[in-house]
Structure 1
Amino acid sequence: MYTDLTKGNIGKSLLLFALPMMAGNLLQQFYNIADTLIVGRVLGSEALAAVGSAYTLMTFLTSIFLGLSMGSGALFSIYQGKGEKEGLRVTVLHAGVLILGVTLLLNVAVYLGIDGILVFLKVPEEVYAGMREYLLVIFAGILATSLYNFFSCMLRALGNSTVPLIFLAVSAGLNIALDLLFVMVFSLGIAGAALATVLAQYVSGIGITLYAWKCSREFLPGKAELHYDRGILKEIANLSTLTCLQQSVMNFGILMVQGLVNSFGSVIMAAFAAAVKIDTFAYLPVQDFGNAYSTFVAQNYGAGEKERIRKGTRQAFAISGVFSLIISALVYAGAPYLMRIFIRKSETEVLAAGVQYLRIEGACYIGIGFLFLLYGYYRAIKQAEMSLVLTVISLGLRVLLAYVLSAWVGVIGIWVAIPIGWALADLTGLVYMKKSKKLRKE
């Protein structure tokens, strides 16, 4: 069940390892898509705007411990590639304690600062109460999400991408069933949608934790590893903190854009909420392919297989590019039909704004596809600072252009700013990769 990515056909191994990750993250999106679909259809556009804006906030918060888990996962893969089992177990211990501590502190902080967060996001008065109600419930799932992300990153880093998919499949189905029950049968409103998501998150979080404890004990610390190792903690801190910062900067930039979107009122908020779900769903496969590629690079980096990394990189960019172009064509052509999944046909203004967003950004998915590969590459070779640089370029430019262009041409300026940021970050990352001596032939 654990795949050794240092051997065998590269393209085939990458695709087979990535497929469960793609399917798993597509299922994970059902958490919020189920809320969006049911809330939008049953409770209307204002409730949809509240859930959509809350989703952007939760993505930002989740990115903090997700970044820590991804950074730790790169180290797990490197130790696995080296064959150092004891070092791997000590690293898992230190990473787990660090991430749990950060998660608990974050959970307390968001509950204490909920009203300040809503003011910062410029949430309109007609949406404020609904979004606050939703957040009070959804924040309770932060610990569950952290548990799931840590253990799924650990298992994937060691070559097991199937088990995380299984737990997500169960919890996604449960989330949809509970959404229908709480919102449509029990009429619990927006809080019911949030409660359904939280319960489903705990199923996946606790489930994967128990699986790791029962079935992957050889990778978990025993009595011999229960000690403080300053060197390993420093290594985790260096890579994980930079990866966390990269993820946080990326999602903070998105949060800044969400605040700008909110200033255009509930119609644009609702359109953005629905379109972002479609958008995220569409490019998730290339995001997960980038994460699979990162595991491939890290394992081979640990094993010293530089030529295999160079060959795999060429194949990974070709696969991601082809897939991105296909998805772009499908989203561009199907934008009106995709929007009508979430939005009532009578809400023409919301539909029109959402279609405009999808056709501008959806045509450029190759930019984000390449960027995910670059993030994974630099994280895997212990140059996470470069991933951070690319994020600052991509999101910094996106936020700056969004504010400048929206003041000039309206909301379309926000949509146009996104692919411009991707393109500049890609150019920077590819040029640096070409000139870097890290994996140059001896």
Structure 2
Amino acid sequence: MNKTNDKSKFLGEEEIGKLLLKFSIPAIVGMLVNALYNIIDRIFIGKGIGSIGIGAIFVSSPVALILMAFGMLVGFGGNSLSSIRLGENKKEEAELILGNAFILLLIISIGLSISGLIFIEPLLKLFGASDTILPYAVDYMSIILIGAPLQAVGFGINAFIRGEGNPRIAMITMLIGAILNIILDYIFIFIFNMGIKGAALATIISQGISAIWVLSYFLGSKSMLKLKKENMILRIRIIKNIFSIGFAPFSMQLAASMVTAILNNSLNTYGGDIAVSSMGVIHSITMLILMPIFGINQGAQPIIGFNYGAKQYGRVKEAFKKAVIAATSIAIFGFLTTQIIPHKLFSIFLEKGSEMDTIANVGIKGLRIYLAMLPIIGFQIVSSNYFQATGKPKHAAFLGLSRQVLILIPALLILPKFFGLTGVWLAGPVADLTASVITSFFIIRDLKKLENGIKINNRIIEEQ
């Protein structure tokens, strides 16, 4: 009871700016660490192999996103269900969910690994690999697919650590994997000269160590829940509940995979390997800018949600505004950086020389156009999250998918027919602008309702 009162006082009374910092900084660190796997791979591959290696990883990313989607389906769904059971003081049921989730992750990931390895070449061609890029992509993805069960366990079961109330341990899991990946990337690519296979091997070894760390936590004495053999017998009831709760993040991730596949094919058709490799660099730069914004998003969610539930609408509005200002500040800084020093950004991923010049000629134009609407992205992301935090998941899902599916896919299919490769780059800002306009309509309407709630609350206080 005291803990609940403390939390109420903390979230309901602490100055909003301080709260946002306290909640956002750990989330930003976690998001950046999570992004390091792909970014570090691309930096080392770009320096050690060249742009063709970056292109190979980018055309492989839809497969990686599918693997991640199934990890989210089981990991996020199982963790949410387990947290509910713990809140109901049903520890045995929560442990049963953990055991079922573990077996589900293994079965699904092994199935994906085998089917992926059998159909690897047609899959990669479907996702936009050219004849030049295909051999590199096959070398990379075949090793990643072998390690799919390690990734599934490390990522999916780590969610249960966070759900137990141990975000520090969950963050350490990601740090272990990311730091080890950086070290092994350097050793395998530059010392052992293993090329793109070395990058893939570094990834699955680091994921394997993360998986061992996660399993040792639930088999040791520090965890509240225990991973027990008798709980690893699948129950249809539990599987249905896990899939039901985990479907939303799963569908979002699958949508991201589909968008990336369409983007790869458009780039390959209108710009060839150079355009695909350029987009690999652009995507990495974009991730570095967006991860802190996603961290602010995660930090703002409990603050907005708690105060909305407590009917402290003035604090809800303040938290939303400050989150938008913080996210927009980062977006503007990222926009200025990409417009002023794009060549230096590309040099992080590629060695100087003729190849760097060739990629930069295409990629810098692409970067400047594709991220032209970056300053308004912070508003769109935080606004979508506002609806999730205030218990309107349908609004949040619609706004979240509006850019990725409803606008970006048609833009990628239509604009290049008129503008060629420039049309592919233009699809990004067109989607960003349109999604932000749609989001503005929803958020203005909802904030007006919030303003009415503030007036009602103030009237009650005055009457008292």
Aligned twin of 2:408: 398
The whole-number CA distance in structure 2 between the counterparts of 1:137 and 1:226 is 28
- Alpha-carbon contact 1:361-1:415 (below 8 Å) kept: yes
> 2:181 aligned with 1:175, yes or no?
yes
> 2:49 aligned with 1:43, yes or no?
yes
Letter in 1 for 2:138: R
Deviation at 1:117, TM superposition (A): 0.5
- Alpha-carbon contact 1:297-1:381 (below 8 Å) kept: yes
> 2:207 aligned with 1:201, yes or no?
yes
Q: 2:90 aligns with which of 64, 69, 86?
A: 86
Higher mean displacement: 37-46 or 307-316: 307-316
Aligned twin of 1:144: 150
* CA root-mean-square deviation: 3.6
Aligned twin of 2:216: 210
The whole-number CA distance in structure 1 between the counterparts of 2:243 and 2:404 is 24
**1:231–1:52 Cα change, 3 Å:** closer
Secondary structure in 2 matching 1:162 = helix
**1:7–1:434 Cα change, 3 Å:** farther
The whole-number CA distance in structure 2 between the counterparts of 1:91 and 1:425 is 41
Q: 1:326 aligns with which of 333, 338, 341?
A: 333
Deviation at 1:172, TM superposition (A): 2.0
Q: 1:339 aligns with which of 337, 340, 346?
A: 346
The whole-number CA distance in structure 2 between the counterparts of 1:324 and 1:5 is 31
Deviation at 1:153, TM superposition (A): 3.3
Paired residues, what number?
436
Q: Which protein is bigger by CA-based radius of gyration?
A: 2
Q: 1:267 aligns with which of 261, 274, 279?
A: 274
Letter in 1 for 2:358: E
Q: 2:300 aligns with which of 265, 271, 293?
A: 293
**Percent same amino acid among aligned pairs?**
22
Letter in 1 for 2:65: T
Q: 2:324 aligns with which of 305, 309, 317?
A: 317
> 2:432 aligned with 1:422, yes or no?
yes
Aligned twin of 2:32: 26
Letter in 2 for 1:116: P
The whole-number CA distance in structure 1 between the counterparts of 2:347 and 2:312 is 48
Aligned twin of 1:257: 263
**1:131–1:226 Cα change, 3 Å:** closer
In the TM superposition, 1:312-391 aligns within 5 A as: 312-346=319-353, 347=355, 348-380=357-389, 383-391=392-400
- Alpha-carbon contact 2:85-2:94 (below 8 Å) kept: no
> 2:19 aligned with 1:13, yes or no?
yes
- Per-residue deviation, residues 345-393 of structure 1 (Å, max 9, x unmatched): 3221211222223223334334443343345444455654444423442
The whole-number CA distance in structure 2 between the counterparts of 1:172 and 1:143 is 18
Deviation at 1:78, TM superposition (A): 6.9
The whole-number CA distance in structure 1 between the counterparts of 2:20 and 2:409 is 34
Q: 1:115 aligns with which of 112, 121, 142?
A: 121
- Alpha-carbon contact 1:367-1:419 (below 8 Å) kept: no
Which sections of structure 2, spanning at least 5 residues, go unmatched?
457-464
Higher mean displacement: 253-262 or 151-160: 151-160
Deviation at 1:112, TM superposition (A): 2.8
Secondary structure in 2 matching 1:122 = coil
Deviation at 1:132, TM superposition (A): 0.7
The whole-number CA distance in structure 2 between the counterparts of 1:11 and 1:91 is 40
The whole-number CA distance in structure 1 between the counterparts of 2:326 and 2:96 is 32
Deviation at 1:28, TM superposition (A): 3.0
Secondary structure in 2 matching 1:126 = coil
Secondary structure in 1 matching 2:362 = helix
Deviation at 1:179, TM superposition (A): 1.6
Higher mean displacement: 125-134 or 38-47: 38-47
**1:353–1:156 Cα change, 3 Å:** farther
Deviation at 1:74, TM superposition (A): 5.6
**1:99–1:72 Cα change, 3 Å:** same
The whole-number CA distance in structure 2 between the counterparts of 1:177 and 1:57 is 24
The whole-number CA distance in structure 1 between the counterparts of 2:442 and 2:116 is 38
- Alpha-carbon contact 1:242-1:384 (below 8 Å) kept: no
The whole-number CA distance in structure 1 between the counterparts of 2:440 and 2:402 is 13
The whole-number CA distance in structure 2 between the counterparts of 1:155 and 1:317 is 30
Deviation at 1:164, TM superposition (A): 2.9
Higher mean displacement: 362-371 or 194-203: 362-371
- Per-residue deviation, residues 297-354 of structure 1 (Å, max 9, x unmatched): 56x39x9434378343343233322332223223332211010111233221211222
Q: 2:170 aligns with which of 156, 164, 169?
A: 164
Deviation at 1:231, TM superposition (A): 7.8
Aligned twin of 1:431: 441
Secondary structure in 2 matching 1:125 = coil
TM-score by length of 1: 0.84
The whole-number CA distance in structure 2 between the counterparts of 1:149 and 1:245 is 17
Aligned twin of 1:276: 283
**1:167–1:352 Cα change, 3 Å:** same
Deviation at 1:266, TM superposition (A): 1.2
- Alpha-carbon contact 1:274-1:343 (below 8 Å) kept: no
TM-score by length of 2: 0.80
Aligned twin of 1:246: 252
